[in-house]
Amino acid sequence: MGELKVIGAWASPFAIRPRIALTLKSIDYEYIEENLRAKSDLLLKSNPVHKKVPVLLHGDRPICESLVILQYIDEQWTTGPSILPSDPYDRAIARFWAAYVDDKFFPALAGILKAQNEEAKAEALGQVKAGLELLEKALKDCGKEGAFYGGEGIGYVDIAFGSYLGWVRAVESMGEVKLLDEDKTPGLVGWAERFCSHEAVKDVMPETEKLIEFAKKLFSKPT
Amino acid sequence: MSKNDEVILLDFWASPFAMRVKIALAEKGIKFEAREEDIMAGKSELLLNSNPLHKKVPVLLHYGKPICESAIIVSYIDEVWPFPAMLPTCYYARAQARFWADFVDKKLFDGGCGIWRNNGDALELGKKEFIEILQVLEGALGGDFFGGDNFGFVDTIAIPHASWFYAYEQFGGFKVEDVCPKLSAWIKRCLKRDSVAKSLPDPSKVYEFLCMFRKMNGLD
């Protein structure tokens, strides 16, 4: 079949997703850190359409888009835990929440940092908090109490949503806001700790302090 | 699951996203009831209860259980009623299909909005960007269809948008046939399929609908 490579960038929440999935399935791979300010020929050749990370290279075949990569990994390697549930309805629900975090939740989260004034920041914050309440309820509905969206083990929604946790913590610190709240989202507080300390996650989740430093440079206003 | 299961689709005639679901159900020979939502007058209780987060069509109700988001619904249909298969068996080819379906989802509708929601220079820019999107998509055409020889997942996700192309051509002053002849031939091929022909509206009706929107928003 060929060797496996993941082209990623340490601060990208999307890029840690395939790494979590491969580790979960005990699959070895080579990690290639990409400099997104000076994209490599390998990246541009492997993802000519979007020119983005992550890319999974299986032999010389590129697979792009993090959620597409997760599904490919799940289908290709069936020994070890499953990432998506087996029931079609449960799979549809998992895909729904993964799409929600990518299409709505993360842009709102980034919106807190990008906001040019207090009004814009408050609006973005409102959207994020509303999103977290929905995700808190979904955790209760999807998984068993005290575990993950995937049930006893990490699944598709855990990886999709959990990959944003580094940034959630960075935004909490930089924005001086509390997002994961013991009162409003107690389930998520416990889930976040379990996810971030999981064997398959802890070595690839970027450190909050490093993300804050990175974000300060990224979002610094020109003088 | 049988072809006579209780299947209801919350629909809107002009929605390319709802058309995707109609095509998928027709390809699989599944009987369903389409309930038209009056987007302008107000959304039904059933829609608001079934899709409380997005409040949008399409929603598929399979024995009352709601499935939302059109590409997710099409995947669900393909998994519940596996024949004829919409995705190839090879895992890499499946990943390619999902990639292109995602590309269509991210780019095609919003790209079109860049034309019909604009005037003047903004419209011209929108047109240029839309044509670029079409050309990238055309490059992915593997054979007669996106899946090669057989109509499949990407074709189902993409073809409904073609019902809006006549409107874009009118507003933008261009023809898809001129800028993307291969894609244009693919559209004609798809329209020969029963499932597509009966699921897509008359493009001139879509044009009338968008003209009305433009008037309402002071564009014309």
Q: List the 56-75 stretch of A: residues with Cβ below 8 A of B.
A: 58, 61, 63-65, 67-69, 71-72, 75
User: For the residues A144-170, what does the mean pLDDT come to?
Assistant: 91
Categorize the per-residue pLDDT at A223 as very low, low, confident or very high, splitting at 50, 70 and 90.
very low
Kindly determine whether residue A63 and residue B99, on different chains, have CB atoms separated by under 8 Å: yes
The pLDDT of residue B220: 83
What pLDDT does A221 receive? 56
**Nearest to B148, CA basis, from B174, B119, B186, B116:** B186
CA distance B165 to A71: 32
Tokens, residue B71: 């590409």
d(CA A3, CA B175): 45
Residue of chain A whose alpha carbon sits nearest to that of B136: A49
- ipTM over cut 0.90: yes
Q: Which residue has the tokens 């002071």?
A: B218
Interface of B with A in 39-78 (CB under 8 A): 53, 62, 65, 67-69, 72-73, 75-76
What gap in Å lies between CA B11 and CA B33, rounded to an integer?
A: 10
The answer on pLDDT for A145 being more than 70 is no
Nearest CA in chain A to B65: A89
Peptide bond into A54 cis (omega under 30): yes
Residue A215 to chain B, least CA–CA distance (Å): 26
CB contact under 8 A, B92 and A61: yes
Residue in chain A lying closest to B72 (CA): A92
pLDDT (tens digit per residue) in B82-138: 999 999 999 999 999 999 999 999 999 999 999 999 999 999 999 999 999 999 999
pLDDT tens figures, B141-197? 989 999 899 999 999 999 999 999 999 999 999 999 999 999 999 999 999 999 999
CB contact under 8 A, B72 and A92: yes
Of A67, A76, A96, the CB nearest to B91: A76
Q: What are the counts of helices (DSSP H) followed by strands (DSSP E) for chain B?
A: 11, 4
Task: Say whether A134 and B53 touch across the interface (CB within 8 A).
Answer: yes
Q: Do A88 and B79 touch (CB under 8 A)?
A: yes
Provide the pLDDT confidence category of residue A1 given band limits of 50, 70 and 90.
low
pLDDT tens digits, A127-143:
999 999 999 999 998 76
Of B65, B94, B102, the CB nearest to A89: B65
How many Cα neighbours within 13 Å face the side chain of B86? 28
